[in-house]
Amino acid sequence: MRTTDADVAVADRPAPADPAVAAPSPQDAGEASPKELSDFMKGRSRTYGMLARIFRVEADEEFVCELRSMRFPTSTGNVHADRGYRLMCNYLRGVWEDTQLDLARDYMRTFIGHGVNGRSAAYPYESVHTSEKRLLMQGARDEVLAIYRANNLKKDERWRDCEDHIALELEFMQVMAGRTAKALAEYREDDAIEMLRTQRDFVENHLANWVPIFVEDIMRWSQTDFYRGAGELLLGFVQTEREALADMLEESDAQ
């Protein structure tokens, strides 16, 4: 997505350093300082950004180098995330002269495929996984487009894919988590809570609704531990986010 709030879609920005799966909100979140909560949101935003880059386009040499320089966590509390990090790290340790070609071929095979029936690859579109006939441009696309617009975000003209592409949905969450971090840093608690509600609903009604099926297809079609690991990490992160957002908002929604 664009880096400005008014014009958002996919951006060509580097992956952030030191990603970490968002852990469930602290048990004493009510006692956490605004800075601590803001830093937590920044960590969420960084992880969403990294995942969006992985699924947006095949990994080039620069991105592979950035990933190799990161410090991935060894234990996140989520079995899928831990397995994903482990698979990706093991793959990145064995980088060789044809790694980019290897990844490009696997990206094409896994996410693009050669068929047109919606069942020949792990197609990265929500509509394909939630519509009866596995078609593009269905109800899910219209729903997420409305959500982007409601939050003053729109697709970059350079992005030719559908609005319900996994990368775009992840970038939406990246932007919203970043906005929440800023609101908390500025002591705008009501604004932060409202943005967290938007994120909770988006995860619950969209990401959690199709990512598990999408990841199953990744495991079916991918032949590299890099993209298999990315799929596991995505699944684990969405599961963790679903729990964390629900926990953070439980008290405020009960009021």
pLDDT digits (tens, 9 = 90+) for 17-51: 455 554 444 444 556 788 889 999 999 999 999 99
* pLDDT for res 11: 38
Is 229 contained in some domain? yes
CA–CA gap between residue 230 and residue 235 (Å, rounded): 9
Token pair of 147 as six digits: 């959500």
* pLDDT for res 130: 84
Is 6 contained in some domain? no
3-state secondary structure of 200: helix
pLDDT digits (tens, 9 = 90+) for 214-255: 999 999 999 999 999 999 999 999 999 999 999 999 866 655
Is 57 contained in some domain? yes
Q: Who wins on pLDDT, 154 or 230?
A: 230
* pLDDT for res 12: 35
For residue 224, the enclosing domain spans 31-254
Is 23 contained in some domain? no
Asked if the model's pLDDT at residue 135 lies above 80, the reply is no
Is 4 contained in some domain? no
Q: How far apart are the first and last CA of the chain?
A: 34
Mean pLDDT value of segment 90-113: 91
Asked if the model's pLDDT at residue 82 lies above 80, the reply is yes
Mean pLDDT value of segment 82-105: 92
Kindly tell me the number of DSSP H helices and DSSP E strands found in the chain: 10, 0
CA–CA gap between residue 40 and residue 181 (Å, rounded): 8
CA–CA gap between residue 79 and residue 137 (Å, rounded): 33
Is 12 contained in some domain? no
CATH number for the domain including 108? Answer: 1.10.3480.10
Is 14 contained in some domain? no
In contact, 81 and 47? CB cutoff 8 Å: no
Into how many domains does the chain fold?
1
Asked if the model's pLDDT at residue 2 lies above 60, the reply is no
Is 248 contained in some domain? yes
Structure confidence at residue 97 as a pLDDT band (50, 70, 90): confident
* pLDDT for res 156: 75
